[in-house]
Structure 1
Amino acid sequence: MTRLLLMALLAVSSSASAIVIRHDLDDSKYRVPTSEFPALVDMPGEGHGVLIAPQWVVTAAHAVTWQTEIEEVLINGVPRDVERLVVHPGYRKPPQELINQALATGDATLIRVLLASSDDIALLKLSQPVTDVSPAALYKGDDELSQIAKIIGKGATGTGATGYGNHDSHRTELRRAFNKITSAHDRWFCYVFDNAPSALPLEGMTGNGDSGGAALIQVNGQWLLAGLPSWTVAQGDVRTLRQGLYGQTSCNVRISHYMGWIESNMSSQAQAGG
């Protein structure tokens, strides 16, 4: 099985998952320059992370564990060497048996159940501190429900009316959109991609290749990192399902749930001097 086929399968349950937009708005309204969020990190090939300290990047575990090794990432257009990868011990990668079953039957329910109980988060320690980009501040509150999230990424794109295909590019142009958080508990917060008239003026959702990127909440005029795009809830045969359609739900790793793990790992690595 090729990596592309695997990522297409996981997209409906744990998306490798630019921004999918409203069908009734021009794409130019969603396009933004790099200066919109320079702390966004490009992983090799596809996927994102976010710079949260001069020498630390946070990302979704599944956005990096499919690669044999992460030696370098791109921040603000500049290559940065990676010293080490720290994956949360609670991350659970779908076993090949479940993947084979889903590919044979089109039913990814058990993969979705497994990943919903997984800690899909990882840290990258850079070899050298980043001095030309300000790290993103973290959202530490537990009141994400009903707040408006700003989502940013360069992954697959399309519209809510047509979605996008499994073979569409997972690395496009930088876009940003907004959505209202409809659920928040434990590891996750999620939102639904609504159609007009229920949609926000720049409603959107993440696509393949946006995983590990930024879902931000505004506090006192500052956008804080609250979540990492992770997986999508969509019904249908995973082998033929169109992704990015209205009514689908995007779930994000909830940063507030992992503050202790993030801070303890950065602190212990710093004390170790490595």
Structure 2
Amino acid sequence: MAMGLAHALTGGAGPSEEPADPAWAAVGSLDVGGRLFSATLIGRQHVITAAHVVAGANPAHIRFRSAVAEGFTSAGTLVQVHPGYTGSSANNSPGDPSVHADLAIVRLATPAPSMMPVARVFTGPVLGRVLTLVSHGGSTTLFTTGENRADLVFPDFLGRPATYLFDFDGPDLAANRLGPAVPANGTLGLDREATLANGDSGSAAFVHVDGRWYLAGVNTFNISFGATAASPRASGTGGGGVVLGEHAVWLREVLSESAPATGTADVPARLVVKPQKP
């Protein structure tokens, strides 16, 4: 099973200039030294992304851009990599291909305008839920969206949900790589089923609960399951990312820190809203 760093999503609804739902507009492109990834606004002055795309980068060479909100753009001023990030998959649970705590928060020089939504973090269980993937995948203007089901969730060394993993199902169950080969575990449909590709790192995985959208994870990797480039629509491949709810304390701590320029903290009170139903 080969892993890559997770250009636009494969499959799904394809690219568009406007997000199908206003909540998805929290996702923007992240230019890191000329390479484009994605990040999601979690506070007026903070975005979250994958650690492996910004670790060691000069914040002055990072720029977040929104395709909405009148083209809001801001340079970074500080990169805060998750303290548990190791850059390695060593000592993972068996089968977990991810890099430990692959998360980072970038503080923006300019607060995002009020017309741009701030993502609310989901703290309920992710396993079995349909994830809506929202990425800029190498573009500063186009949203690419699709869906997949969280087939597996791997725990960390303390037993807490750490990594979600999904496969990219083809038109029949022959492409199924995770779980039993039954219809309920097959494709979500031609215009829905999607997986990650190189460049999708830092993109968002949303869940829809009780009529509201929540940010459940940050997409960080793709895997091949032994599939070849000749595989139709890359069926038999997959991807995944970091379960975000387990990092709520760290998120609150980072957003609560005062920005040097203003002496004020961001708005952590809006950060984590736990749905009443799991």
Following TM superposition, by how much is the alpha carbon of 1:221 offset from its aligned partner in structure 2, in angstroms? Answer: 1.4
2:170 matched to 1:183? no
Once the two structures are superposed, the pairs formed by residues 1-274 of structure 1 within 5 Å of their partners are 12-16=2-6, 18-21=8-11, 29-36=13-20, 37-44=24-31, 45-65=35-55, 67-69=57-59, 70-75=61-66, 76=68, 77-93=71-87, 116=98, 118-131=100-113, 132-141=115-124, 143-155=125-137, 170-171=138-139, 173-185=142-154, 186-197=161-172, 198-201=186-189, 202-236=192-226, 245-269=234-258, 273=263
| Cα pair 1:17 1:230 within 8 Å, conserved | no
Cα 1:51/1:30, change in 2 over 3 Å: same
Query: Shift of residue 118 of structure 1?
Result: 1.4
Compared with structure 1, are the counterparts of its residues 127 and 58 closer, same or farther at alpha carbon in structure 2 (3 Å cutoff)?
same
For 1:255 and 1:247, the matched residues in 2 are separated by 26
The number of aligned residues is: 227
Please identify which structure carries the higher helix content: 1
The CA deviation string for residues 195-229 of structure 1, in whole angstroms up to 9 with x for no partner, is 11421121111111111111110011112110111
Change (3 A) 1:177 1:268: same
Q: In structure 1, list runs of 5 or more residues that go unmatched.
A: 1-11, 23-28, 96-109, 156-169
The 1:90–1:30 alpha-carbon spacing in structure 2 relative to 1, beyond 3 Å, is: same
The structural deviation recorded for 1:241 is: 6.1
| Larger deviation, residues 204-213 vs 74-83 | 74-83
1:153 and 1:206 in contact (8 A); partners too: no
Report the TM-score when normalising by structure 1: 0.72
> How far has the Cα of 1:137 moved from its partner?
1.2
Inter-partner Cα distance in structure 1 for 2:258 and 2:95:
32
Query: Which amino acid in 2 is paired with 1:56?
Result: H
Q: Aligned in 2, Cα 1:80/1:147: closer, same or farther, shift over 3 Å? A: same
Q: Report the residue type matching 1:42 in the other structure.
A: S
Q: Please give the root-mean-square deviation of Cα atoms over the aligned residues, in Å.
A: 3.2
What is the identity percentage for the equivalent residue pairs of Structure 1 and Structure 2?
Answer: 24
Question: 1:152 Cα deviation (Å)?
Answer: 1.3
Report what 2:269 is aligned to. Answer: none
Equivalents in 2 of 1:114, 1:147: separation in Å? 19
CA distance in 2, matches of 1:71, 1:171: 15
**1:117 to partner: Cα distance:** 5.1
1:98 maps to: none
Aligned equivalents of 1:180 and 1:114: distance in 2? 17
| TM-score of the aligned structures, taking structure 2 as reference length | 0.71
Name the CA distance, whole Å, in 2 between partners of 1:124 and 1:214. Answer: 15
What's the secondary structure of 2:36's corresponding residue? coil
1:177 and 1:203 in contact (8 A); partners too: yes
Q: Quick one: distance in 1 between partners of 2:212 and 2:96?
A: 35
Offset of 1:49 from its aligned partner?
Answer: 0.6
Which residue identity does 2:168 align to in structure 1? F
State the 1:171 CA deviation: 3.9
Flag the 1:15–1:136 CA change in 2: closer, same or farther, 3 A. same
Distance 1:148 1:235, change over 3 A: closer
Is the Cα–Cα contact under 8 Å of residues 152 and 164 in structure 2 kept in the other structure?
A: yes
Cα distance in 2 for partners of 1:180, 1:72 equals 31
Q: Residues 182 and 81 of structure 1: is their aligned pair in 2 closer, same or farther, counting only changes over 3 Å?
A: same
For the residue of structure 1 that corresponds to 2:145, the secondary structure is strand
Counterpart-to-counterpart distance in 1, 2:122 and 2:222: 22
SS of equivalent residue, structure 1 residue 209: coil
The CA deviation at 1:13 is 2.4
